């Protein structure tokens, strides 16, 4: 029977040294990982940069290239044209307009009018004087238009306003039109030199006429010349609001002068 060998302290130290060396040679690796697996990384959350707001919350900013609206008329406005230049109160669409002898005069504008840089309220009274120096008459003005537009073709069929044409078409008609001065449903009266009714008489060259156009109920346009009612139009779809809030004078080709404009909010 063999005896159990005696382990001396020196021999025990040798065995311990061998065991530690073997353990150090074994790589440390989780039992469920693969030798070729790439190391796992934690992706850092990406944060979007914060930008300052471009305008205050709830406030409408003006789009690029859009001009601020013209001032709204809340009190009577008057222009007697007693100056040498048209001035900044008016927006002219062409070079045909000028001040002559204290009047706003025009010729050959071809429906490129001049707009007052003020917004009309829905209800207002517009009064002015006008003289045609031609036997063709043709005194024209626009009411509740966009303040920017003129004719884009020979025929003015795409206005933004109501139009009064006193002695139009070579002094043959007095016309109140909506948008299209050639529309078949325009209000017109044929002129007659011998008519006893003042509203039917043609324009007399060199005579000063007093015009009055007003809207008091938001839908009905009434037009008088020298106190005589020419037309009254009740519009089921009235021109109101943005794009229909300016007054302007217009002209085709005859020499016309305007004076003593008065606009009264109603």
**CA dist., res. 191 & res. 167, Å (int):** 8
At residue 68, the pLDDT reads 86
What does pLDDT average to over the chain? Answer: 84
Specify if 54 maps to a domain. no
CA distances to 61, 67, 169, 179, 208 from 188, in Å: 44, 37, 11, 15, 21
Specify if 218 maps to a domain. yes
Structure tokens at 253: 């080709």
Specify if 20 maps to a domain. no
pLDDT tens figures, 17-75: 544 444 444 444 444 434 343 433 333 333 333 333 333 333 333 444 667 899 999 99
**Number of domains composing the chain:** 1
For residue 214, pLDDT over 50 is answered with yes
**CA dist., res. 39 & res. 54, Å (int):** 45
Average pLDDT over residues 205-220: 98
Q: At a CB cut-off of 8 Å and minimum separation 6, what does 54 contact?
A: 61
CATH of the domain at 187: 2.60.120.560
* Domain carrying residue 126: 80-265
Specify if 229 maps to a domain. yes
Give the residue, 184 or 39, on which the prediction is more confident. 184
At residue 109, the pLDDT reads 96
Calculate what percentage of the chain has a pLDDT beyond 70. Answer: 75
Specify if 3 maps to a domain. no
Specify if 47 maps to a domain. no
Specify if 222 maps to a domain. yes
pLDDT tens figures, 243-264: 999 999 999 999 999 999 999 9
């Amino acid at each position: 029977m063999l005896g159990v060998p005696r382990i001396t302290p020196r021999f025990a130290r040798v065995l311990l040294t061998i065991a530690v060396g073997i353990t150090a040679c074994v790589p440390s690796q989780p039992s469920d990982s693969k030798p070729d697996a790439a190391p796992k990384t934690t992706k850092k959350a990406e944060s979007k940069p914060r930008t300052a707001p471009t305008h205050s919350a709830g406030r409408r900013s003006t789009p690029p290239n859009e001009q601020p609206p013209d001032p709204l008329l809340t009190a009577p406005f008057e222009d007697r044209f007693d100056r040498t230049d048209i001035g900044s109160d008016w927006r002219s669409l062409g070079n045909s307009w000028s001040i002559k002898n204290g009047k706003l005069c025009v010729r050959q504008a071809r429906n490129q009018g001049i707009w007052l840089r003020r917004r009309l309220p829905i209800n207002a009274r517009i009064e002015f004087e006008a003289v045609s120096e031609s036997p063709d008459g043709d005194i024209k003005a626009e009411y509740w238009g966009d303040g920017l537009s003129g004719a884009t073709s020979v025929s003015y069929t795409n206005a933004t306003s109501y139009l009064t044409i006193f002695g139009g078409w070579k002094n043959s008609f007095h016309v109140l039109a909506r948008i299209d001065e050639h529309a078949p449903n325009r209000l017109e009266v044929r002129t007659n030199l011998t008519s006893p009714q003042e509203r039917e008489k043609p324009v007399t060259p060199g005579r000063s006429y007093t015009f009055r156009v007003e809207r008091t109920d938001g839908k009905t346009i009434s037009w008088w010349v020298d106190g005589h009612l020419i037309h009254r139009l009740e519009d089921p779809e009235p021109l109101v609001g943005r794009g229909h809030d300016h007054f302007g004078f217009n002209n085709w080709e005859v020499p016309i002068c305007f004076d003593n404009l008065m606009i009264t909010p109603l």
